[in-house]
Amino acid sequence: EIVLTQSPATLSLSPGERATLSCRASQSISRYLAWYQQKPGQAPRLLIYDASNRATGIPARFSGSGSGTDFTLTISSLEPEDFTVYYCQQRSNWPPEYTFGQGTKLEIK
Amino acid sequence: EVQLVESGGGLVQPGGSVRLSCAASGFTFSGYWMGWVRQAPGKGLEWVANIKQDGSEKYDVDSVKGRFTISRDNAKNSLYLQMNSLRAEDTAVYYCARSLGYGPGDYFDYWGQGTLVTVSS
C-alpha cells in the first residue's frame, strides 16, 4: 500500500505570500497525483490532477509539480479564501486504490 | 450543472444497517465510474468503494469488505451504498463522487455535499 505524507501539517502565512505544500509518496507513483482543497463544512474540490493539470475553473495561482515520489502544490499569491485544508491523493489502476494524504492546514499568520 | 445529492444518513446502532443514496444530474451518469469517500469527524479522507459505468466492476477498501456493497441504477441516475454490520469506526460523512475518467483508479472531479452516518448506541 502506498502511503502519502504531507508536510507541513500546518503552514502559517499571510495573504499575498507564496505557499508551498509538499506531498511525498512511499514509492514512485509517476505523475499520478491530485490535490484537493476542502473548506469547513464543504466537500473537497479538485484543484490539480496528474501532478500539474489544473482542473476546470481553478485559478492560475494554483500550480502543481513533481513526479516519482515528491510533489508540490504552489499557491503563488494567497487570497483570503485560500486559507483552509489541502489534501493530496494518488491513483492506481491496479490494484485500484485511492490513497489520500493526511492533509495540510493553511492558516493565516 | 453537475449535481450529486446524497441521502440516507443518520443515527444507527452498532451492528445495524443503512443504505445511502446519491442522486446524480447534469451529466451522463452511465458514462462515468462513481465512488464513495468518507471522512470521520475531524479526520482526513478515505476512499470507500467505486463502481464501473455498467456495474460490472466494483472495488472497495479492505476495512469494509464483506460489509458494504456499492451499486448503481443507471435508469434512475442513482448510486447506492448498502452498509451492514456497522461499527463505531464507520461513523463519518459519506460523500458520493464522480470519477474524472481514467478508470478504476482515478481522481474525483465532482462531489456531493455529504451525508453523516453516526454509529452509536
Q: What is the DSSP string of B65-108?
A: TTTEEEEEEGGGTEEEEEE-S--GGG-EEEEEEEE-SS-SS--E
Least Cα distance to A94 among B61, B104, B70, B36 occurs for B104
pLDDT value of residue A92: 85
How does DSSP classify residue B112? -
Q: Name chain A contacts of B47, Cβ cutoff 8 Å.
A: 97-100
In angstroms, the Cα distances linking A88 to A5, A34, B69 are 9, 6, 26
Taking the CA of residue B96 and the nearest CA in chain A, the distance in Å comes to 10
Q: What is the pLDDT of residues B40-56, one digit of tens each?
A: 999 999 999 999 999 99
Taking the CA of residue B106 and the nearest CA in chain A, the distance in Å comes to 5
Across the strands, what pairs with B32? none
- Measured distance CA(B60)–CA(B68) in Å, rounded: 8
Phi, psi of A80 (to 5 degrees): -55, -35
The b-or-e profile of A37-63 (16+ CB within 10 A means b, else e) is bbeeeebbbbbbbbbbebbeebeeebb
Contact B100 A96 (CB under 8 A): no
Q: Name chain B contacts of A25, Cβ cutoff 8 Å.
A: none
Query: What string of pLDDT tens digits covers the 109 residues of chain A?
Result: 899 999 999 999 999 999 999 999 999 999 999 999 999 999 999 999 999 999 999 999 999 999 999 999 999 999 999 999 999 999 987 878 789 999 999 999 9
Q: Residues with Cβ < 8 Å from B85, sequence gap 6 or more?
A: B15, B17, B67
A43: nearest CB among B44, B105, B114: B114
- Strand segments, DSSP code E, in B1-84 are 3-7, 10-12, 18-25, 34-39, 45-51, 58-60, 68-73, 78-83
A103: nearest CB among B35, B44, B114: B44
pLDDT band at B15 (very low <50, low <70, confident <90, very high): very high
Contact A46 B112 (CB under 8 A): no
Residue A33: closest C-alpha in chain B:
B107
Has residue B32 got a pLDDT over 80? yes
A43: nearest CB among B46, B59, B112: B112
**Using omega within 30 degrees of 0 as the cis cutoff, is the peptide bond preceding A80 cis?**
no
Taking the CA of residue A23 and the nearest CA in chain B, the distance in Å comes to 14
pLDDT band at B2 (very low <50, low <70, confident <90, very high): very high
CA end-to-end span of chain B, whole Å? 40
- Degrees (nearest 5) of the Cα angle B23, B100, A39? 70
Q: How many CB atoms are closer than 10 A to CB A18?
A: 11
* C-alpha cell belonging to residue B42: 475531524
- Measured distance CA(B32)–CA(A67) in Å, rounded: 27
B44: nearest CB among A32, A98, A102: A102
- Degrees (nearest 5) of the Cα angle A66, A74, B93? 95
* C-alpha cell belonging to residue B69: 456493497
Taking the CA of residue B93 and the nearest CA in chain A, the distance in Å comes to 10
Contact B38, B51 (CB under 8 A): no
